Amino acid sequence: MKKRIGELILAIDIGGSHIKATVLNEKGELTMEYEKVETPDQATPAHTIEAVKKLLKNFPAYNKVSVGFPGYLEDGVVITAPNLGTKEWQGYDLKAHLQKELGQPVRVVNDADMQSLGIVRSDGLEMVITLGTGFGTALLLNGILLPHLELGHHTVAKKLNYDQYVGNEALKKLGDKKWNKRMQKVFENLKSLFNYKYLYIGGGNSSKLTMKLDQNMKIVTNEDGIKGGSCLWTTGQVTGFAAASFTKNERK
């Protein structure tokens, strides 16, 4: 892979509560503090694009764009977006629309997938979860994204899926103490199901965790995660399907 010189990558993280953005260099280093705006209450594609444009109004120049989106996508086209409203988003070509609006090449993946690229050690099977409006997940093997699973929609207890069980609405309804008990069950489930080598916990509600974490579990920040935007261009990981010939040395 040829080394790209002087790339400035706009990294956008579209969440159920906020839209965040910063500009990175090709090493994933922030060239500015990340900024954010609230996600529109009616987060239709049009309203969301307008919020993105408002956020970027005074941003410095960039020549690539990476976007993390809270849903399942195929080649930049939204298939599901449960925390924004799937009906409005289904079949929406987010990649094409953003390229038209921003005038630069765009790559779009699930938000947890993008964040994971800025966090993991590239060592064995690693899992990243995000605790926010919903429950996001990403799986990687030696730093390579595995096909995305919408684990947040899987039933965990009493006909509740993970989004409903430990998402933001559950936290507000239950309070910190009861929510932490639920999270303890979630961690037990993930540990027995995936046998991950490392588990990373991000998202705004990760700060609410009170239990002692295992040695191979770590809380990470939004600043850590948004750095994954550079990896969509420097490692070639776009769809979440790994190229078998990619080795760890080639990704460095």
Q: Residue 246: what pLDDT?
A: 29
Plot region of 33 (φ>0 → left; ψ -120 to 50 → alpha; else → beta): beta
> Taking all residues of the chain, what is their mean pLDDT, rounded to a whole number?
89
> What tens digit of pLDDT does each residue of 117-163 get?
999 999 999 999 999 999 999 999 999 999 999 999 999 998 999 99
> What tens digit of pLDDT does each residue of 20-53 get?
999 999 888 999 998 999 999 999 999 999 999 9
| Residues 146 and 218 occupy one common structural domain | yes
> Across residues 74-93, what is the average pLDDT?
91
Q: Residue 237: what pLDDT?
A: 66
Tell me how far apart the alpha carbons of residues 248 and 97 are, in angstroms, rounded to a whole number: 33
Q: Residue 158: what pLDDT?
A: 85
Higher pLDDT, 230 or 250: 230
Q: Residue 86: what pLDDT?
A: 74
Q: What is the CATH number of the domain that holds 55?
A: 3.30.420.40
Beta strand 217-219 with 198-202: parallel, antiparallel or unpaired?
Answer: parallel
| Residues 97 and 133 occupy one common structural domain | no
- Tokens for 134, please give them: 């919903």
> What tens digit of pLDDT does each residue of 115-124 get?
999 999 999 9
- Is a pLDDT exceeding 80 seen at residue 236? no
Q: Residue 74: what pLDDT?
A: 94
Q: Residue 238: what pLDDT?
A: 54
> What is the residue range of 163's domain?
116-223
> Across residues 172-186, what is the average pLDDT?
97
Strand partners, 30: 24
> Do the Cβ atoms of 2 and 231 come closer than 8 Å?
no
User: Last residue of a domain, which of 53, 80, 109?
Assistant: 109
DSSP designation for 202? E
Question: How many domains does the chain fold into?
Answer: 2
DSSP string, 104-148: S-EEEEEHHHHHHHTT--SSSEEEEEEESSSEEEEEEETTEEPPP
| Residues 63 and 130 occupy one common structural domain | no
| Residues 77 and 165 occupy one common structural domain | no
> Across residues 105-114, what is the average pLDDT?
95
| Residues 84 and 124 occupy one common structural domain | no
Nearest to 157 by CA among 138, 176, 174, 172: 174
Note the pTM of the prediction, 2 decimals: 0.86
The answer for residues whose C-beta is within 8 angstroms of residue 235's C-beta and 6 or more apart is 117, 143, 246, 251
> What tens digit of pLDDT does each residue of 209-226 get?
999 999 999 999 888 888
| Residues 92 and 180 occupy one common structural domain | no
Q: Strand, coil or helix: what is 248?
A: helix
C-beta atoms surrounding 190 within 10 Å: 18
